[in-house]
Amino acid sequence: MKIVLILFVISGCSYAGFGVSKNFKSKVNFYHDMLLFCSGLKCDLSFLKLRLDNVFAKATGGKEFVFLCEKATQSLKSAKSQLIQYKDLDEIVFLNKKEKQTLYGFFDVLGKSDVANQQMQIDGYEKIFFDCLENAKQEYKTKGALYGKLGIYAGLFVAILCL
């Protein structure tokens, strides 16, 4: 019975540790999706002359990114002035407050000016998102593996205490 309990504790702690490290990987994927979206958005707005709702409708990526695109599409259909609400960003748990403010500012810019100004603003946000991607990659390398190992070691520690 103790062996089953020990295995359960080790696997539970490991699962928790790797669950936390998954947030770091999700952040990397999210910023990668944002960079791809920015690149495609500039082309779609200037060359293809697509409307924003069509751009959001064809957007693909991770579940958090698709969620934001769906919210923006709903706002466009209901003719709201804000594409996303700040409270919508609370659904993305791995972003900190500063990153949420930056993301909110990006979606606030879209559709508010002519194509040339939007392209300039998208270029600026693209640089910001690239920096965020590099930071997220660095965090994933250091902290992602750390939390996974920490979960395993915490499970082993608790298992030893149970003996």
Alpha-carbon distance of 42 to 138, in angstroms, equals 28
Predicted TM-score of the model (pTM)? 0.81
Q: What tokens does 50 get?
A: 């697509």
Look at the chain and count its residues.
Answer: 163
Collapsed DSSP state (helix, strand, coil) of residue 111: coil
Q: Among residues 36, 20, 13, which one has the least CA distance to residue 140?
A: 20
Residues 33-47 as b or e (16 or more Cβ within 10 Å = b): bbbebbebbbebbee
Average pLDDT of the chain to the nearest whole number: 86
Whole-angstrom distance, CA of residue 65 vs CA of residue 60: 8
Which pLDDT does position 48 carry in this prediction? 64
Tens-digit pLDDT profile for residues 99-121:
999 999 998 888 777 777 888 89
